């Protein structure tokens, strides 16, 4: 038998006819079609992929961590050594056909996985040939590496249902060989309703739409776009669509292939509502809507966007979104003298103040990635003085310090594995945790790459304590302050801290620091690596001084850098790294369109490609070219026709939810929904006081709501039921936009909502009632009159007691005087009662009569109610019906409240469209 490499050499020199015209080695399905094949298959290139193709190394079979029937394979074939050792115990080199590894899938022996092989198949012949050839596991270092997997066609466009087009996958090896590996690939479809793919790589068209099919081989994952137009409006039949911006151009380019015609650009009111909710998390006021619609300037939308970006609510809302993505969920540190809640507030403020001054995204990210407590050029004592002042003297917090070390003290960052997973979610938008234990099933990342990347983060300490260099200073400051931080008595420590602060003493604080990586020492006697000589809370083990960036070929010696995280930060900014910019622009895009260009937004992987790769590349590249300018990104998106299109679909795009041909109505985020309810039910004066005061807004709550506790005076219960991010993991799915019965019950029946509607002091119903004359301000002198009458009655009672006394004492003179005085008091009481009765009659006469209200005033109130809730005027029918309902209500004020209640309980109110 010829080894595989000898066969390849023969092909290269034309010694066999198995090479095609373009020098691609024919597939093993053909080469092992017969049982007398002379070739010996390669374990890594042929046997392992075949095991994956047959499903042997899947999670449900021998790829599970427990294996099956005492036989375990690595999940998805990431560990050749493990797989080979397992198989070697089950093969018979002398009599290959009697190998237990073959008898089980042939069902010659009981097999829970069912029949997987047939004796007359090429798969069986390949495995037998490998066993006959010695069942070897070739030296990995001597084997050629897979450079690329070329899958053709690169794009599939179907014209009708039931069409079938085969894929061809060619492996390109580092020694120059090319081999057809289609029969060894695993395939999947990302939407089986649009396209189905068989085990042989044949793609079959189903319903109209677009998706991807994906080919898996070795470490390569290759997606192929599949399109079946939804209409006949393709090619020359596609209408002319204006493309004012690059975004519009790239979106329409994809829509042309699909035969999808985009919806028209929305009207001014629809645009204003959408951009206000998306950009600043705020429902526009009735006055703002009226003025914007009446504005005739051609550039009014661009000016409005600039005005929104300058509002405090912009930085407040987007600081909340970035707090979600970076995992601002508090810190696990019971020994810290830092006040409760300060960690989350300062984390939030660190982001907010930088967004307010439009600091570049890479600089904001650097503040987290490279964070440390003691800043460059600062001593540990100076650090403690600054933090003591920030929290207990000036009480300004630490948001203006250079970095945000609390990121490394997160509850979910207790192990290096947690850290690399959280970092990848936050700044790369990838779910790399699968590679912690096995090769990532949908991406290129291997277990080795996961742990090599992890080594960048093992040297940073986020637990309580200080670096070895500052430990003496920590003890000295604690002793000076009279605080025993080693004590487990928390109450006692708090009392000591309070006492020290009253005396103006400095408090010692824990420190986030990064120990310099050191090469492991080798004990010549034990011949075993020692641990790095660091005293870090997470002590790196042997080899932790060597790391590798994801997708990069070279290992990095961390002993050559002062901070092991610096190569990561440099890599994030490098041209080789596209994930950093793509992850951010995709998350921002998803905020505006309900779905990301990659969906879910935090799951960038090769098997989950973007719906519009050219669009994502443009935004990511231009974002970098613009210096990571966040406000540029917002403007670029919201000023495109793509963003400004109406939600109303046409015949071609009514089913489109991922190609951005129309706005997709989506429920408001929890914080925005709560603030919208407050805004819609508030009077004009109260609205201004609420929406412009970030200390009263739900969108600016720093802390995660726990046990129905919100912040800024906001109850946490509605935030919870509307899906505010719980930030318990690193996943964007911690925030929910799903509708629920509890949301409906809250809007319809909760006392909070009903009280806001009924509020006649600072609510819209109260303002409208006064405008319509339904509420009269009561005269202040009514209370004064009642007070005068009460005093006179009290004086009369005292006079009657004196009169009784004079009668008893038979004091005639005193009796005469008292009777006269008592008579005067009674006259005064009678006169005062007459005044009270007349005043009450006058007030009653001035009360509104049960008669129709002025039509023009009522119409204005109804229109304003629609503007403040739905950001539009009512239709003629809605106006007439609303007016008739209020007019016919026994309690007209209640009728107005009913109108507000009805409008905020419509889908049109609670969704952003």
> pLDDT grade, residue 825 (50/70/90)?
confident
Q: Find the angle CA(61)-CA(124)-CA(607) to the nearest 5 degrees.
A: 50
Per-residue model confidence (pLDDT) at position 12: 36
For residue 561, count other CB atoms closer than 10 A to its CB: 17
Q: Please say if the pLDDT value at position 528 is more than 50.
A: no
Most confident among 54-63, 250-259, 461-470 (mean pLDDT): 250-259
Per-residue pLDDT of 554-593, as tens digits, reads 999 999 999 999 999 999 999 889 999 999 999 999 999 9
Q: Please check the confidence at residue 529 and state whether its pLDDT lies above 80.
A: no
Helix (H) or strand (E) holding 157: strand 156-157
Spatial separation of the C-alpha atoms in residues 730 and 426, rounded to whole Å: 7
Looking at residue 540, its pLDDT comes to: 39
Name which of 504-518, 782-796, 818-832 the model is least confident about.
782-796
| DSSP per-residue codes, 185-230 | -EEEES-TTTEEE-TT-EEEE-SSEEEEEEEEETTEEEEEEEEE-S
Q: How far is Cα 860 from Cα 764, in angstroms, rounded to an integer? A: 13
Give the least confident one: 33-47, 280-294, 610-624.
Answer: 33-47
Confidence of residue 152 (pLDDT cuts 50, 70, 90): very high
In the chain, % of residues over pLDDT 70 = 90
The neighbour count for residue 675, using CB atoms within 10 Å, is 26
| Distance (Å) of CA 384 to CA 156, 405, 478, 783 | 63, 14, 11, 59
End-to-end CA distance of the chain: 68
Determine the length of the chain.
913
pLDDT of residue 6: 46
Predicted confidence at residue 541, as pLDDT, reads: 42
Per-residue pLDDT band for 435 (boundaries 50, 70, 90) equals low
pLDDT in tens, 485-499: 777 777 887 888 888
**pLDDT band at residue 333 using 50, 70 and 90 as cut-offs:** low
Q: Of 123, 228, 80, which is closest to residue 165 (Cα–Cα)?
A: 228
Interval 224-252 mean pLDDT: 96
The answer to whether 766 and 683 are in contact (CB under 8 A) is yes
What's the whole-model pTM score? 0.86
Q: Give yes or no for a contact between 399 and 346, defined as CB atoms under 8 angstroms apart.
A: yes
pLDDT mean across residues, the chain = 88
- pLDDT value for 869: 97
Predicted pLDDT of residue 491: 80
Confidence at 624, pLDDT banded by 50, 70, 90: very high
Give me the torsion for CA of 403, 584, 445, 595, rounded to 10°: 140
Q: What pLDDT score was predicted for residue 518?
A: 87
Q: How confident is the model at residue 911 (pLDDT cuts 50, 70, 90)?
A: very high
Task: Encode pLDDT of 97-147 as tens digits.
Answer: 999 999 989 988 888 888 889 998 999 999 999 999 999 987 767 788 899
Report pLDDT for 707: 55
pLDDT higher than threshold 60 for residue 21: no
Radius of gyration of the chain (CA): 37
Question: Can you tell me the distance from the alpha carbon of 318 to that of 584, in angstroms, rounded to the nearest whole number?
Answer: 12
pLDDT, tens digit, 9 for 90 and up, residues 344-381: 999 999 999 999 999 999 999 999 999 999 999 999 99
Mean pLDDT of 208-236: 95
Residue 58 is classified by DSSP as S
Of the two residues 227 and 831, the one the predictor is more confident about is 227
| The pLDDT value given to residue 329 | 84
* pLDDT, tens only, 874-884: 999 999 999 99
| pLDDT value at residue 613 | 96
Q: Confidence class of residue 542 from pLDDT cuts 50, 70 and 90?
A: very low
Q: Classify residue 60 by its DSSP letter.
A: T
pLDDT, one tens digit per residue, over 50-90 is: 998 988 877 778 777 777 878 888 877 778 888 898 898 89
433 or 706, higher pLDDT:
433
- pLDDT tens digits for range 675-734: 999 999 999 999 998 888 998 999 999 988 665 566 777 888 999 999 998 888 778 888
| Average pLDDT of the residues in 811-819 | 74
Q: Please state the rounded mean pLDDT for residues 623-644.
A: 98
Number of helices and strands in the chain (H, E): 35, 21
């Amino acid at each position: 038998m010829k080894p595989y490499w000898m066969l390849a050499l023969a092909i290269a020199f034309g010694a066999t006819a198995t090479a095609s015209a373009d020098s691609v080695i024919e597939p093993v399905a053909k080469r092992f079609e017969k049982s007398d094949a002379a070739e010996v298959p390669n374990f890594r290139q042929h046997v392992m992929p075949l095991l994956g193709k047959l499903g042997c190394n899947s999670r449900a079979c021998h790829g599970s961590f427990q294996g099956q029937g005492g036989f375990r394979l690595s999940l998805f074939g990431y560990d050749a050594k493990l797989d080979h050792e397992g198989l070697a115990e089950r093969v018979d080199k002398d009599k290959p056909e009697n190998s237990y590894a073959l008898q089980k899938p042939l069902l010659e022996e009981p097999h829970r996985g069912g029949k997987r092989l047939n004796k007359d198949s090429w798969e069986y012949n390949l495995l037998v040939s490998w066993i006959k050839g010695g069942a070897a596991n070739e030296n990995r270092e001597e084997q050629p590496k897979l450079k690329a997997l070329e899958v053709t066609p690169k794009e599939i466009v179907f014209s009708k249902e039931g069409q079938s087009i085969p894929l061809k996958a060619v492996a390109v090896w580092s020694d120059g060989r090319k081999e057809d590996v289609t029969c060894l690939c695993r395939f999947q479809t990302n939407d089986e309703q649009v396209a189905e793919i068989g085990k042989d790589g044949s793609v079959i068209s189903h319903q109209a739409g677009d998706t991807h099919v994906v080919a898996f081989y070795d470490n390569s994952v290759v997606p192929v776009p599949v399109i079946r137009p939804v209409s006949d409006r393709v090619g020359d039949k596609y209408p002319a669509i204006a493309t004012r911006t690059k975004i519009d151009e790239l979106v329409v380019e994809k829509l042309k292939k699909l035969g999808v015609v985009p919806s028209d650009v929305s009207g001014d009111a629809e645009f204003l509502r959408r951009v206000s909710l998306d950009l600043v998390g705020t429902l526009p006021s009735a006055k703002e809507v009226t003025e914007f619609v009446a504005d005739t300037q051609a550039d009014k939308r661009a000016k409005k966007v600039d005005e929104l970006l300058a509002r405090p609510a912009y930085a407040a809302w987007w600081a909340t979104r970035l707090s979600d993505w970076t995992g601002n969920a508090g810190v696990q540190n019971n020994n810290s003298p830092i006040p409760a809640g300060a960690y989350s507030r300062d984390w939030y403020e660190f982001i907010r103040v930088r967004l307010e001054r439009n600091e570049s995204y890479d600089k904001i990210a650097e503040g987290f990635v490279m964070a440390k407590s003691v800043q460059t050029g600062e001593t540990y004592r100076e650090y403690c003085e600054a933090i003591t002042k920030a929290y207990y003297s000036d009480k300004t917090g630490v948001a203006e310090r250079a970095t945000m070390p609390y990121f490394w003290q997160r509850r979910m960052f207790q192990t290096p594995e947690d850290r690399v997973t959280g970092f990848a979610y936050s700044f790369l938008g990838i779910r790399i945790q699968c590679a912690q234990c096995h090769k990532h099933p949908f991406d290129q990342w291997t277990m080795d790459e996961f742990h090599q990347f992890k080594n960048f983060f093992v040297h940073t300490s986020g637990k309580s304590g200080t670096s070895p260099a500052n430990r003496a200073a920590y003890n000295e400051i604690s002793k000076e302050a009279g605080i025993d931080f080693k004590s487990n008595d928390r109450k006692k420590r708090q009392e000591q801290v309070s006492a020290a602060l009253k005396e103006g003493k400095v408090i010692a604080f824990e420190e986030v620091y990064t120990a310099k990586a050191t090469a492991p020492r080798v004990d010549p006697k034990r011949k075993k690596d020692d641990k790095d000589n660091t005293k870090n809370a997470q002590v790196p083990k042997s080899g932790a001084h060597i790391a590798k960036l994801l997708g990069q070929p070279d290992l990095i010696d961390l002993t050559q850098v002062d901070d092991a995280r610096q190569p990561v930060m440099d890599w994030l900014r490098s041209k080789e790294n596209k994930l950093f910019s793509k992850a951010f622009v995709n998350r921002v895009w998803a905020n505006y369109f309900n779905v990301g260009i990659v969906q879910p937004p935090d799951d960038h992987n090769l098997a989950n490609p973007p719906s519009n790769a050219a669009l994502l590349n443009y935004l990511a590249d231009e974002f970098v070219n613009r210096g990571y300018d966040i406000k540029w990104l917002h403007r670029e998106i919201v000023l495109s026709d793509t963003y400004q299109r109406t939600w109303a679909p046409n015949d071609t795009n009514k089913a489109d939810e991922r190609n951005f041909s129309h706005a997709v109505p989506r429920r408001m985020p929890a914080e925005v929904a709560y603030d919208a309810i407050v805004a819609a039910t508030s009077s004009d004066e109260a609205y201004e006081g609420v929406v412009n005061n970030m200390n009263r807004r739900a969108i600016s709550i720093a802390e995660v709501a726990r046990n129905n506790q919100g912040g800024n005076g906001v109850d946490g219960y509605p935030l919870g039921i509307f899906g505010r991010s719980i930030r318990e993991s690193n996943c964007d799915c911690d925030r929910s936009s799903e509708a629920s019965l509890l949301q409906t019950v809250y809007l319809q029946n909760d006392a909070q909502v009903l009280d806001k509607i009924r509020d006649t002091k600072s609510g819209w119903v109260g303002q409208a009632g006064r405008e319509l004359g339904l509420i009269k301000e009561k005269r202040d002198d009514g209370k004064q009159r009642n007070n005068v009458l009460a005093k006179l009655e009290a004086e009369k009672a005292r006079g009657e007691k004196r009169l009784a006394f004079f009668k008893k004492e038979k004091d005639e003179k005193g009796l005469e005087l008292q009777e006269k005085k008592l008579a005067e008091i009674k006259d005064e009481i009678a006169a005062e009662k007459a005044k009270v009765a007349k005043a009450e009659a006058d007030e009653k006469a001035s009360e509104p009569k049960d008669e129709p209200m002025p039509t023009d005033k009522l119409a204005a109130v109804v229109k304003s109610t629609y503007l403040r809730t739905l950001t539009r005027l009512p239709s003629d029918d809605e106006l007439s019906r609303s007016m008739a309902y209020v007019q016919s209500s026994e309690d007209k004020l209640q009728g107005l409240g009913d109108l507000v209640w009805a409008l905020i309980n419509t889908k049109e109110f609670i969704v952003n469209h």
